[in-house]
Amino acid sequence: MPKLASGEMVGAIAMTEPGTGSDLQAVATRADTDGDEYVVNGSKTFISNGLQADLVIVVAKTDTGEEPRGSR
């Protein structure tokens, strides 16, 4: 975080998806465990700073059976 705050590193957040925009409750990208690793499957669009980023945070669901919190 200090390098992102100082500008030494460029960060990006990959959350926008085709067809759902930035509606995070409708995210279709999945992150499934495979041993000690996660395998990420999905599509992202409009990632600001994506080409210049040193660090990209990817929004993905790990439990598709779970109802989104705060949606009640």
Go through the domains of the chain in sequence order and give each one's CATH number: 2-58 (2.40.110.10)
Q: How far apart are CA 56 and CA 46, in angstroms?
A: 13
Helix (H, G, I), strand (E, B) or coil at 47: coil
Q: What's the pTM?
A: 0.80
Here the tokens at position 46 are 């409009």
Q: How far apart are CA 31 and CA 12, in angstroms?
A: 18
Confidence at residue 43, expressed as pLDDT on a 0 to 100 scale: 94
The pLDDT tens digits along the chain (72 residues) read: 999 999 999 999 999 999 888 888 889 999 999 999 999 999 999 998 999 999 999 999 998 787 767 655
